[in-house]
Structures are given as C-alpha cells and as structure tokens.
Amino acid sequence: MELQVRIQDILEHSPLALNGQYPLGQMTQLVQAIGQQDESLHFQLELSRSQRSVFLKGELNSSLDLCCDLCLKRFDWEHEENLDLALVPQETQNVLASEITLSEQELDTIFYTGEDLDVAEILEEQLLLALPIKKVCTDSCQGLCTGCGANLNLQTCQCPPPDYSDSPFSKLLS
Ligand SMILES: [Zn+2]
Ligand SMILES: [Zn+2]
C-alpha cells in the first residue's frame, strides 16, 4: 500500500488535507524493530507548500503491540504525536545554510528526492523515532526469574535468592 503525494499536487496557498489510516503491519522497518502489528496508524495531516519546500503538520495516533523487555509479555502502547516537519529537496542540503529560511531551520527537516513524497515512509520514520528505549509493560513489572524463567508478575517461584558467593567479585562485597 502506498501513500504517495505528488509535490505539484500540493497547491501553494491551499493546504492539502490528508486523513486516513495505514496498516502498521505494512511498515517493514517498524515490523523488523518490534514484531508484527495488527493495528493501523491513524493520521490527520495538512500539507502546504512554498516553492519546493513542503510543510507537514498534523497528528498521529496508534496503538503499537510491543514486547516487554523484562517479562517478555506483549502489551499495547498507545502513542499520540503532533508533527511539524519541513520537507526540503535534497539539493538544498548542498546550498549554504544561510539560504535555508529560518522557519525551516526551526522545524525538524527531512530531505526528499524526486517529485513525490512517500508519506507512509515519513510517518514510519517518525514512529521509529518515537519508540521508547526501554519497553516495559508497567512501571512495577517484576520481570522473569533468572533461575526458572517464571513470570514474577503472575507467581512467586521456589528458586533461592541469587547466590553470588562463587563470583570473583564476592571478596569485594564481603
Ligand atoms: Zn513486563
Ligand atoms: Zn525461579
């Protein structure tokens, strides 16, 4: 599924509204990072153009299916994000920085090539950037027992507390 916008179809002085949803399962980099997804990304976007620069504003909503780093259970991560991006032609990267207008410098800038914008790819990038570094199902997640692998959120196990006496560092502790 593609979500391509021709830059010439965005009329100057008349922003283009782009609302809809896109299946997260079709975002290959995202699926690689966090596993298969069943939900869709919802977006309400507005694209405006000034010469070759395109400004993308709007909102993203999604519910991602993540795996807890501690207990390995999958959990829903609700994500809402406001976007305010400047999309400028790749050639601009080579011109003097002073030629890029101040408004473009203040926004997150993405460089594009060609005559089309791949909006799905841009949205996927934004989601990848937004993923939490530490993915935990709840703040109080107890994780798995390192001895028997029991999920300590659901049960207590019979394992003795970890024994560090054989560790070469034990002398440092005593
Ligand atoms: Zn967990
Ligand atoms: Zn255990």
Q: Which residues, 6+ apart, have CB-to-CB distance to 105 below 8 Å?
A: 97
Residues 164-173 pLDDT 10s: 666 666 666 5
Structure pTM?
0.81
Q: Strand, coil or helix: what is 28?
A: helix
Mean pLDDT of the chain: 88
Q: Which ligand lies nearest the alpha carbon of 162?
A: 2
Q: Is the pLDDT of residue 90 over 90?
A: no
End-to-end CA distance of the chain: 62
Q: Which residue has the tokens 């709840």?
A: 138
Q: Which ligand lies nearest the alpha carbon of 147?
A: 2
CA of 68 to the centre of ligand 2 (A): 18
Residues 123-151 pLDDT 10s: 999 999 999 999 999 999 999 999 999 99
CA of 165 to the centre of ligand 2 (A): 18
Question: What is the pLDDT at residue 95?
Answer: 61
Band the pLDDT of 13: cuts 50, 70, 90.
confident
Q: Is the pLDDT of residue 103 over 80?
A: no
Pairwise CA distance, residues 37 & 74, whole Å: 11
Q: Which ligand lies nearest the alpha carbon of 145?
A: 2
CA of 99 to the centre of ligand 1 (A): 49
Q: Which ligand lies nearest the alpha carbon of 158?
A: 2
Pairwise CA distance, residues 174 & 164, whole Å: 11
If DSSP states are collapsed to H, E and C, what string results for 143-167?
CECCCCCCECCCCCCCCCCCCCCCC
Locate the DSSP E strands across 68-172. Answer: 74-89, 108-112, 116-118
Question: What is the pLDDT at residue 40?
Answer: 97
Q: Which ligand lies nearest the alpha carbon of 136?
A: 1
Question: What is the pLDDT at residue 79?
Answer: 97
Contact 18, 45 (CB under 8 A): yes
CA of 66 to the centre of ligand 2 (A): 24
